[in-house]
Structure 1
Amino acid sequence: AGLAGGSADCAAVLVGMNKLFSLKLPAKKLEELALTMGTDIPYCVRRGTVLAEGVGEVLTNIEPPCPFCYVVLAKLPVTVSTAKVYQSLKWDQVEHHPDTKGMLAAMAEGDVPAMGRLLGNVLETVTIPMYPKIADIKESMLENGAEGALMSGSGPTVFGLFTKQERAKEAAKILRKQFAMRDVFVTQIYHVPHGKKERRTTDGRHKI
């Protein structure tokens, strides 16, 4: 769905096996192994707020991390071939590239509205012509309070950033009805600070 589900599962297996069998492989080695399986898997191994460069193998931890906000996820009931999208992407015809430096500055300032304005994904130039409703979903999110909206990965999932939980919930409700979609969810930014371990409270909530 463009949300790196398979990549995250792969990363979890690598990390889990390293612990289960007491292999004691350093994080760098796990990331090197991950890269042989997929370009976004090293990031999933590391987690947190990270700048990925190269083909995904050059990772830089970002502090302060992505500021807290609410996220609405909306997935059309279609399947998109990631391989087909990349094969169809014409790099020489891409006119607008994401402003990475601007995004890092906005994150450092905790400015969610600025982050929303700076969102960019060149793969939209391929997937949206295939599934025009993706653009309609983005527009609906913006009309209903999102600070920014973007297709995730190669699609078809669209995410929107919200500063208010109630706005996010209302937007999700509207999207479900407007596009007859079942897979619309309200979630929030979550991260584990670099260098710290994650644990859970007795009621199952995440705690650092």
Structure 2
Amino acid sequence: MPDPGRLTLPAPAKLNRMLHVTGRRTDGYHELQTLFQFLDHGDTLTLSRRDDGELRLTPSLESIDDGDNLILRAALALRDATGCRLGADLHLDKRLPLGGGLGGGSSDAATALLGLNRLWELALPLDTLAELGLSLGADVPVFVRGHAAWAEGIGERLTPVELETPWFVVVHPGVSVSTPAVFRAPELTRDTPPITMARALQGETASWRNDCELTVRELYPAVASVLDWLSDRAPAMLTGTGACIFARLDHEADATALLADMPSRWTSFKAQGLNRSPLHDALDR
């Protein structure tokens, strides 16, 4: 029998299939237009209910203090919003690289919010959970809502979309990219004219681009090396502000063959694109 006080849930990766930077706000944040899609690959979070109010996360992540960890921050935000006095043991099986542009921390936070909402029997609606998620980071709401989306603003204004679901090979070059450093860079493109969602979806995927890519290439030569190598073999693009690069393949066999040819100095995996988050599939089962 399943333990009603325990849940094991996925925290999937995301890709930015395209990313335009259309302006800079007075508060320093940038206006974006992007297409989010999930992957069938990511972290796994196991949540066990505690009645003593303690929140315990294992293992601790290198370079991130527990007080800054988005999983614990999500749990505390949920308790503050509801007055819940319960606690949880939270165990993270971390597969997604830090600073990789795959949304790992944001996805972990969303899984914590939805998992604890279920485990603590709070019954908060998705709109409320997405609002809590936005207080943790701009990418958290798309993971909370669980559907591929066209995003605007700082990435929080979401419209569900249906995208093609090809296979991808995702490569991490072994560096962690600083998102603030990318957005502070004077050479970053910040004036791409806004387009409509319909125009973005009508365009061929080969025409999609990431406005952060040229800047990240200049700041991180290791990323440039992966982009050059992958682009010779398949359409390739940076996701988010990096450091991960993805190549789009039509068939799983093509992805398998590309992985087999990958230089051993890089970490890589294959995954299929998904329009519905595996987190929501798991919660529905």
Distance in 2, Cα, partners of 1:130 & 1:185: 24
2:101 is aligned with 1:2: yes
Residue 143 of structure 1: how far off its partner (Å) = 2.2
Q: What is the one-letter code of the residue matched to 1:85? A: V
Residue among 260, 279, 282 paired with 1:173: 260
One of 215, 218, 222 as aligned partner of 1:126 = 215
The counterpart of 1:138, out of the listed 207, 223, 227, is 227
Q: Which residue of 1 aligns with 2:157?
A: 58
Is the contact made by 1:137 and 1:175 (CA closer than 8 Å) also made in structure 2? no
Distance apart, 1:102 and its partner CA: 3.8
| Bigger helix share | 1
Which of 155, 158, 164 does residue 67 from structure 1 map onto?
164
In structure 1, the gaps of 5 or more residues are 107-113, 201-206
Note if 1:198 corresponds to 2:198: no
Report the count of equivalent residues.
183
Matching residue of 2:179: 82
Contact 1:89 1:123 in 2 (8 A): no
Most deviating of 1-10 and 52-61: 52-61
Q: 1:72-126 CA distances to partner (integer Å, 9 max, x unpaired)?
A: 00001111112222222556x44656865443125xxxxxxx21x1221111132
Q: Quick one: which of 160, 164, 189 aligns to 2:247? A: 160
1:140, distance to aligned residue in structure 2 (A): 2.5
Aligned-pair CA distance for 1:61: 1.1
Q: Could you say which structure has the larger radius of gyration?
A: 2
Q: 2:146 aligns with which of 33, 47, 52?
A: 47
Change (3 A) 1:133 1:97: farther
Farther-moved stretch of structure 1 (93-102 vs 121-130): 93-102
Q: What residue in structure 1 maps to residue 88 of structure 2?
A: none
**For 2:121, which of 17, 22, 31 is the aligned residue?**
22
Displacement of 1:25 in angstroms is 1.1
Deviation at 1:152, TM superposition (A): 1.1
**What is the identity percentage for the equivalent residue pairs of Structure 1 and Structure 2?**
28
CA–CA distance in structure 2, aligned partners of residues 134 and 50 of structure 1: 26
Q: Which moved more, 1:39-48 or 1:118-127?
A: 118-127
For normalisation by structure 1, the TM-score amounts to 0.77
Distance in 2 (alpha carbons) for counterparts of 1:45 and 1:142: 32
Partner of 1:185: 269
Letter of the 1:4 counterpart: G
**Bigger fraction of residues in strand:** 2
Question: What amino acid maps onto 1:134 in structure 2?
Answer: V
Q: TM-score, normalised by structure 2?
A: 0.58
Q: Deviations over 1:149-184 (max 9, x none)?
A: 11111111100110022222222222325xx21x11
Question: 2:7 aligns to what?
Answer: none
Correspondent of 1:103 among 200, 213, 219 = 200
C-alpha displacement of 1:191: 3.2
Which amino acid counterpart does residue 198 of structure 1 have in structure 2?
Answer: D
Q: What amino acid sits opposite 1:191 in the alignment?
A: N
Kept after mapping to 2: 8 A contact 1:74/1:159: yes
Kept in 1, the 8 Å contact 2:213–2:238? The answer is yes
The answer on whether the counterparts of 1:89 and 1:125 sit within 8 Å (CA) in structure 2 is no
**SS of match in other structure, 1:120:** coil
